[in-house]
A and B are shown apart, each in its own frame.
Chain A
Amino acid sequence: MQELPRVLTSLDWNVQPPYLHAPYKSTVLRSPQKPLIPLPQTLSELTGPVYGHENIRPLDNDLTKNAVVNGEPVGERIIVVGRVIDEDGRPVPNALIEVWQANACGRYIHKNDQHPAPLDPNFTGAGRVLTDANGEYRFTTIKPGAYPWRNHENAWRPAHIHFSIFGTAFISRLVTQMFFPGDPLMPLDPIYNGIPDENGRKRLISEYAHDITEPEWALGYRFNIVLNGSRMTPFETKDA
């Protein structure tokens, strides 16, 4: 009989946003509406792609340098640090984190972004980093600007950095957004407010980190991330 890996917790729907959140209009036609089928956790769900340092290039964690053409990118330089842990508080090492964001003017380099704010020739706004043995990561970037969109009249996204995180298992995947403390656009944002729980929403606001701020160089922000953890119930087999 083979030994089976630990069973993980499911998505916590008290914290995770629903598929349908009508104030965010694009959810209306893109939200599954039939009941979700509970998925047993087999080896297919408890495994996932394994990442290592070979997946990271030297400047991937410095967005102020990885796209330089003829000078430094414009804007407020920031350092973002954090720790990826599971619900039990255990660090998640070797988690691949990919980030992407608008530039200081709120413009994405993507060809479909028609916001008439300037592109920055020295900034693409994409980077990646691997967590270390303690689950910690760190990257340097430019503070993104607010971004207008057409969801409703005078709609603006609060400044945010997109995060994509691979935990150890197929079902530990997380794609989310990091926000900045004190942003007045957050209470008006239907994407942020799609999260049903107030404490859950607060999890997406980074905190200013003076211990990370470097004198005469860059402000620091801390953004910790929690992936699903172990479930206490034993693995069910048909003999159980």
Chain B
Amino acid sequence: MKHMQTPSQTVGPFFHYGLMVEQDQNVLYDEMTRGQRIHIKGQVIDGKSQPVTDAMIEIWQADAGGHHNHPSDPNQAQADPHFKGFGRVDTVHNGQFLFRTIKPGRVAYDAEADQAPHINVRVFSRGMLIHAYTRLYFSDEEEANKTDPVLNLVPADRRYTLVASREDTGELPTYCFNVVLQGEMETVFFNP
């Protein structure tokens, strides 16, 4: 007999002192980590285009070789021991967030195909009874994006909401990824 899933409830407005205690959870690499260092910046926006200042973003990604340091990854042995792959951040400053991470490699989709480089993203907030799932792709991976089996499930006119645009104005490549919770430019969210 199946047990019933425990229902979700909102993270509420006061999660910071429970979940943001450790410093620098938005920095995923150390000096030993392999791969191209990148920044990911963005803003969480509500249905009236206002910044959401009490959201939390969590990310999960593969290492530079496309592997995860997790027992379900058949190539765990090859995963970078200096990369955990998880990060989280709040949006207290005007709805904005920043991650410092590395560009992920391509993760296998099945026995034959690979996925385009991507980062899995979860969005939590006061006013969300359950978190939302989305994915971040990279604007400089145009060829890989074209054949990505997950991106291809998304209606063509909405795919742009998942593609972070690269800026080269700073020291490191910076990818801009806004999370629009509602409205004309609503980010594509997934049902896992």
Interface on A for B, CB 8 Å cutoff? 1-5, 9-12, 15-19, 21, 24, 26-34, 36-50, 85-89, 98-100, 108-110, 112-113, 124-126, 162, 164, 168-171, 173-177, 191-192, 194-195, 197, 199-201, 203-204, 225-229, 236-239
Q: What 1/0 flags go to B30-43 for Cβ under 8 Å of A?
A: 00000000000000
A171 touches B8 (CB 8 A): no
Segment of B44-52, B139-147, B167-175 engaged in the interface with chain A = B44-52
A42 touches B6 (CB 8 A): no
B191 touches A126 (CB 8 A): no
- Collect the chain A residues with CB atoms within 8 Å of residue B132's CB: 19, 32
Pick from B2, B60, B107, B126: contact of A48, CB below 8 A.
Answer: B60
Measured CB to CB, the nearest residue on chain B to A192 is: B9
B190 touches A36 (CB 8 A): yes
B111 touches A239 (CB 8 A): yes
A28 touches B47 (CB 8 A): yes
Since A27-B128, A30-B181, A173-B58 are in contact, a sample of 9 more A-B pairs with Cβ atoms closer than 8 Å, ordered by chain A residue number, is A40-B149, A50-B71, A88-B3, A100-B19, A108-B17, A175-B124, A228-B5, A229-B3, A237-B111
A43 touches B6 (CB 8 A): no
How many Å lie between the Cα of A45 and that of B74 in the bound state?
A: 14
A110 touches B13 (CB 8 A): yes
Known: A32-B186, A38-B190. A110 touches B6 (CB 8 A): no
Measured CB to CB, the nearest residue on chain A to B162 is: A37
- Collect the chain A residues with CB atoms within 8 Å of residue B129's CB: 17-19, 21, 24, 27, 191, 194-195
B7 touches A229 (CB 8 A): no
How many Å lie between the Cα of A51 and that of B3 in the bound state?
A: 25
Asked if B100 is at the interface (CB within 8 A of a chain A CB), the reply is no
A33 touches B72 (CB 8 A): no
Can you list 21 pairs linking A and B with CB atoms under 8 Å apart? A2-B108, A2-B111, A9-B5, A10-B192, A29-B48, A30-B127, A31-B47, A32-B186, A33-B186, A34-B158, A40-B150, A44-B120, A45-B120, A47-B73, A100-B18, A113-B14, A164-B11, A170-B120, A176-B6, A195-B7, A200-B4
Known: A29-B127, A37-B191. A171 touches B15 (CB 8 A): no
Q: Shortest 8 CB-CB distances between A and B: which pairs?
A: A100-B18, A26-B127, A39-B190, A47-B70, A5-B72, A17-B129, A49-B86, A30-B127
Most chain A CB within 10 A, of B8, B48, B131, is at B8
How close is A89's CB to chain B, nearest CB, in angstroms?
6
Known: A24-B127, A47-B68. A175 touches B11 (CB 8 A): yes
